[in-house]
Structure 1
Amino acid sequence: MTDNRPKMHGLLIDLDGTLYHGTHMIDGADKLISYLRDTKLPFRFVTNNSAASPEDVAERLLKMGIPAAAEEVCTSAQAAAGYISGIRPGASVFVVGESGLTSAAREAGLTLTDEQPDFVLQGIDRKLTYERLTKAVRYIHGGAQYVLTNPDLLIPSGDGLIPGAGSIGAMLKAAGGKEPVLIGKPSPILMEYTLKSIGLAAEEAWVIGDNLATDIAFGEAAGCGTLLVLTGLTTAQNIDYYMEQAGCKPDVVCNHLEELRSYISDHREI
């Protein structure tokens, strides 16, 4: 089924559930990334996480033993800030989020404000207050455009699942009465940002991840090759259920990262 797919010119790689679980590297992740570096196959780490900066993400990977550099990371926060600056350079934004989102906004030349913004820019915020939520709702009702970094309802933490940016977004959408512009996987906005970063057309890139509804749907919608690894959310036991729920199926399924590395070796563009 993949014989007629184009060769791999570059890879867009998910993180949590694909290369690590929490703070623990998945077996073979270090060898996989080292192989990509040694063979000079371009790649980007692509994450819906809006809380961490690219530098933070790279440092976290390095601490787990996975080779990484900040310029290899593409986050939903970067894509969101780039989207806003592309529409209105220097726009004022009210941020509901953490340091990764505020730093991305500043780097994109946006103006952070607590008063009458052009945009409400929302990601995960683990110190969110009711007062800040109230401001966001009032600004949306007052005409501010609403941008949501990613739709993840739940994310893993060291002691279990916690509400993600999508859960906060569900509340703002209900109270604000406005559909947000969605940035992260499976939105094409993060895809466009990442493809520009790596310098490839969609048909030259393959998306690798463990989640059908985000990673695989993300790649399929853009026209990328898609490769599902059974290292995280999706397993051999639940793959049929998640394919039905997501309404999509991957081009290739690999059971583990060693199998993935072997597949890339056989199908990469030389």
Structure 2
Amino acid sequence: MTNTAAPIPLDQMPPVTAWLSDMDGVLVKENRALPGAQDFLDALEQHGMPFLVLTNNSIFTNRDLSARLANSGLTVPEDRIWTSANATAAFLTQQSPNSTAYVIGEAGLTTALHGAGYVMTDMDPEFVVLGETRNYDFNALTRAIRLIEGGAKFIATNPDVTGPSDQGTMPATGAIAAMIKAATGHTPYFVGKPNPVMIRAGLNRIGVHSEDAAMVGDRMDTDIQAGVEAGLRTHLVLSGSTRREQVANYPFRPFGIHAGIGDLIPLVEASRG
């Protein structure tokens, strides 16, 4: 029998009892805490709400990112951070536990994959895994291309084509993945936002369901899209990359639009009565 029940409107779903938040442009900007960020985190802790801070950056380990946030004035334990490297390790563990990978990336990615029981090798690996790094090596990229041509499956942590630096824009994982795709004809599977796989794996980590959770982000094409596709209520903050007038350019809408994350504190307090 076909199920014809109408979906529940977002404003009629149960109260939000868990929160996911992007990091850059939401909690911090240019290594400085944004107004209301620590107050928002304090409200979550005070009301006992599970939360995760998400980032597509795969360079740093969770411990590194916790320390960097602390330097910005924010208290976020490392077990409350979920990176595209963490999500990639979780995805690969589900797909092929304790397998092998040729990895291009830095400590955040290699640490996550080692923790998942993966062996790093350039000899007939099952996967080639591409992550963020400040020093892409031509020989390593050539080896990756030949391994993919030889049958290795191509995985990339995130599709971002550029990233910020103190000197300006720099190429990121998506740009390097495009080069490898052009050379091999193989399209990578991107795990990070906007893939809802990253969101769902994060929800599993904190033991909550999508109908009970909300996602806060500053980008429509990654944070909000991922949250919408994962079935979360999404909140766009205008403290980062997106201007209010740009929202109309997208075929999906956030559940709420706010000047900054501090505006969400009343929602946290209200959902706990």
Query: Normalised by the size of structure 1, how large is the TM-score?
Result: 0.94
Question: Which letter maps to 2:256?
Answer: V
Is the 1:5–1:225 contact (alpha carbons within 8 Å) kept by the matching residues of 2?
no
1:17 to 2:25 alignment = yes
Is the 1:22–1:157 contact (alpha carbons within 8 Å) kept by the matching residues of 2?
no
Question: Which letter maps to 1:264?
Answer: V
Residue among 83, 86, 92 paired with 2:91: 83
1:250 to 2:254 alignment = yes
Q: Which residue number in structure 2 is paired with residue 110 of structure 1?
A: 118
1:168 to 2:176 alignment = yes
Quote the Cα distance in structure 2 between the aligned partners of 1:262 and 1:185.
Answer: 27
Deviation of 1:2 after TM superposition, in Å, equals 5.8
Partner SS state of residue 258, structure 1: helix
Runs of 4+ in 1 over 4 A off after TM superposition: none
Is the 2:32–2:73 contact (alpha carbons within 8 Å) kept by the matching residues of 1?
no
Quote the Cα distance in structure 2 between the aligned partners of 1:5 and 1:160.
Answer: 42
Q: Which residue number in structure 1 is paired with residue 76 of structure 2?
A: 68
Deviation of 1:158 after TM superposition, in Å, equals 2.2
Indicate how the Cα distance of structure 1 residues 2 and 84 shifts in structure 2: closer, same or farther if over 3 A, else same.
Answer: closer
Deviation of 1:6 after TM superposition, in Å, equals 2.6
1:26 to 2:34 alignment = yes
Superposition RMSD in Å: 1.5
Is the 1:22–1:156 contact (alpha carbons within 8 Å) kept by the matching residues of 2?
no
Quote the Cα distance in structure 2 between the aligned partners of 1:12 and 1:109.
Answer: 27
Query: Normalised by the size of structure 2, how large is the TM-score?
Result: 0.93
- Once the two structures are superposed, residues 161-197 of structure 1 have per-residue CA deviations (whole angstroms, 9 ceiling, x without a partner) of 2111111111111112111111001112212210111
Quote the Cα distance in structure 2 between the aligned partners of 1:205 and 1:119.
Answer: 32
Is the 2:156–2:190 contact (alpha carbons within 8 Å) kept by the matching residues of 1?
yes
Deviates more, 1:201-210 or 1:35-44: 35-44
- Once the two structures are superposed, residues 114-142 of structure 1 have per-residue CA deviations (whole angstroms, 9 ceiling, x without a partner) of 22211000111211111111100110110
Deviates more, 1:60-69 or 1:208-217: 60-69
Residue among 246, 250, 261 paired with 1:239: 246
Q: Which residue number in structure 2 is paired with residue 259 of structure 1?
A: 263
Partner SS state of residue 170, structure 2: strand
Is the 2:105–2:132 contact (alpha carbons within 8 Å) kept by the matching residues of 1?
yes
Quote the Cα distance in structure 1 between the aligned partners of 2:40 and 2:200.
Answer: 25
- Once the two structures are superposed, residues 207-248 of structure 1 have per-residue CA deviations (whole angstroms, 9 ceiling, x without a partner) of 000000100000100111000011100123x433xx41x432
Residue among 143, 146, 160 paired with 1:138: 146
1:229 to 2:233 alignment = no
Please, which runs of 5 or more residues in structure 1 have no aligned partner? none
Partner SS state of residue 186, structure 1: coil
Question: Which letter maps to 1:113?
Answer: T
Quote the Cα distance in structure 2 between the aligned partners of 1:264 and 1:235.
Answer: 24
Partner SS state of residue 241, structure 2: coil
Quote the Cα distance in structure 2 between the aligned partners of 1:115 and 1:204.
Answer: 44
Residue among 188, 202, 215 paired with 1:207: 215
Quote the Cα distance in structure 2 between the aligned partners of 1:196 and 1:213.
Answer: 23
Deviation of 1:11 after TM superposition, in Å, equals 0.4
Quote the Cα distance in structure 2 between the aligned partners of 1:171 and 1:97.
Answer: 16
Residue among 49, 59, 66 paired with 1:41: 49
- Once the two structures are superposed, residues 7-47 of structure 1 have per-residue CA deviations (whole angstroms, 9 ceiling, x without a partner) of 11100100001111121111111111111111212110111
Is the 1:94–1:117 contact (alpha carbons within 8 Å) kept by the matching residues of 2?
yes
